[in-house]
Amino acid sequence: MIAKTAVVYPHVKLGTNVVIEDYCIIGAPLRDGSTPETIIGDNAHLRSFTVIYAGNKIGKNFQTGNKANIRENNIIGDNVSIGTMSVVEHQVLIENNVRIHTNVFIPEFSQLKMGCWIGPHVVLTNAKHPNTPETKNNLQGPIVQAAAVIGANSTVSPGVEIGAQALVGSGSNVTKNVEAKSVVFGNPARRK
């Protein structure tokens, strides 16, 4: 079911049983006006005011909260959920079974591996030296390994790797790599 107020561009390929609620824009053209193919798998549910730019490859059972914004050229696996008012920038890899909660920011070149969980209001960053002439040439998104959990209101610095099955406590500022299966928290985040 596609709501009458939704805009779905012609280059978008939708799977079966896809629900697109009111005022969504799916396959929005890129800045240069191009519209690379956009694919959204079976059983997706895109809630009101979601915007998905062109060039995304999205698996089955995908869902968004209201007002999610997903920029261009991402690869998103099966069974992924992106919460209300969250932003996923471009060239991001999101593997199967990832949960991104409300009001999360995922910058360019981030990688979210199988089954990781990103809590509400988490901010991942990718610019070590923001607002410099070379910023765009040196972006490095964080890598969140399989089944890792990042608690609410945490910030992760550029290029940091959160190990598989690690737990980052709520409100943490993660400035260094986190070992697999470890628990860290605080500002800066440390093992306790």
Query: In sequence order, which ranges of 102-162 are alpha helices (DSSP H)?
Result: none
Set out the domains of the chain in order of their start, with CATH numbers: 1-88 (2.160.10.10), 92-192 (2.160.10.10)
Q: What is the pLDDT of residues 28-76, one digit of tens each?
A: 999 999 999 999 999 999 999 999 999 999 999 999 999 999 999 999 9
* Mean pLDDT for the stretch of residues 125-152: 91
Give percent helix, percent strand, percent coil of the chain, each to the nearest 5. 0, 30, 65
The answer on pLDDT for 11 being more than 80 is: yes
What is the radius of gyration, based on Cα positions, of the chain? 17
pTM: 0.94
**Residue 129 — pLDDT band, cuts 50, 70, 90?**
confident
